[in-house]
Structure 1
Amino acid sequence: MVIEYVGQVIRQVIADMREQRYEEEGIGSSYLFRVDQDTIIDATKYGNLARFINHSCNPNCYAKIITVESQKKIVIYSRQPINVNEEITYDYKFPIEETKIPCLCGAESCRGSLN
């Protein structure tokens, strides 16, 4: 285990409203991580360092949803030993959409987009 992705646990309808509000407020990045169909963790204002972990098409970590005392949590686990000063990354696995978000991870196996 590397770190838990923490923030406010919210429903989809609230996440949609917040995402729109964040855009209106000029907040360039929001940190909304889907746990399941109904639940999202919003780390935009009340998250920890996990929200700053970048995407890679060839990551050294992965995200896993676990249940602890009936609460779902997102935990980042390492796939391999991680050296000091090595960037921690995982695959965001964004859903496939028509509008592509360019990927700049630089991995040899880069897919070219986050979705």
Structure 2
Amino acid sequence: MVIEYVGEVIRQVIADMREQRYEEEGIGSSYLFRVDQDTIIDATKCGNLARFINHSCNPNCYAKIITVDSQKKIVIYSRQQININEEITYDYKFPIEETKIPCLCGADTCKGSLN
């Protein structure tokens, strides 16, 4: 285990409203992480360092949803040994959409987009 992705647990309808509000406020990035069909963790304003972990098409970590005391949590686990000063990354696994988000991870196996 590397770190838990923490933030405020919200429903999809709230996440949609917040995403729009964050854009209107000029917040460049929001940190919304889907747990399941109904639940999202919003780390935009009350998260921890996990929200700053970047995407990579060749990541050294992965995100896993676990249940602790009947609450779903997102935990980042390492795939391999991570050296000092090595960037921690995981695959965001965004859903496939028509409008592509360019990937700039630089991996030899880069897919070219996050979705």
TM class, shorter-chain normalised?
Answer: over 0.9
SS of equivalent to 1:57: coil
SS of equivalent to 1:15: helix
Task: Give 1:87 shift.
Answer: 0.1
Spell out, residue by residue over 1:32-87, the C-alpha distance to the aligned partner (whole angstroms, 9 max, x if none). Answer: 00000000000000000000000000000000000000000000000000000000
RMSD of aligned alpha carbons: 0.2
Question: CA–CA distance in 2 between the matches of 1:59 and 1:23?
Answer: 28
Task: Give 1:27 shift.
Answer: 0.3
Question: CA–CA distance in 1 between the matches of 2:70 and 2:56?
Answer: 31
Task: Give 1:30 shift.
Answer: 0.1
Question: CA–CA distance in 2 between the matches of 1:99 and 1:34?
Answer: 19
SS of equivalent to 1:46: coil
Question: CA–CA distance in 2 between the matches of 1:56 and 1:78?
Answer: 13
Q: Which residue of 2 aligns with 1:9?
A: 9
Structure 2: runs of 5+ lacking an equivalent: none
Question: CA–CA distance in 2 between the matches of 1:47 and 1:109?
Answer: 30
Task: Give 1:103 shift.
Answer: 0.1
SS of equivalent to 2:37: coil
Regions of 4+ moved over 2 Å? none
Spell out, residue by residue over 1:1-45, the C-alpha distance to the aligned partner (whole angstroms, 9 max, x if none). Answer: 000000000000000000000000000000000000000000000
Instruction: Using the aligned pairs only, state the percent identity.
Output: 93
SS of equivalent to 1:40: strand
How many residue pairs align between the two structures?
Answer: 115
Question: CA–CA distance in 2 between the matches of 1:23 and 1:53?
Answer: 21
Question: CA–CA distance in 2 between the matches of 1:16 and 1:5?
Answer: 20
Question: CA–CA distance in 2 between the matches of 1:104 and 1:21?
Answer: 26
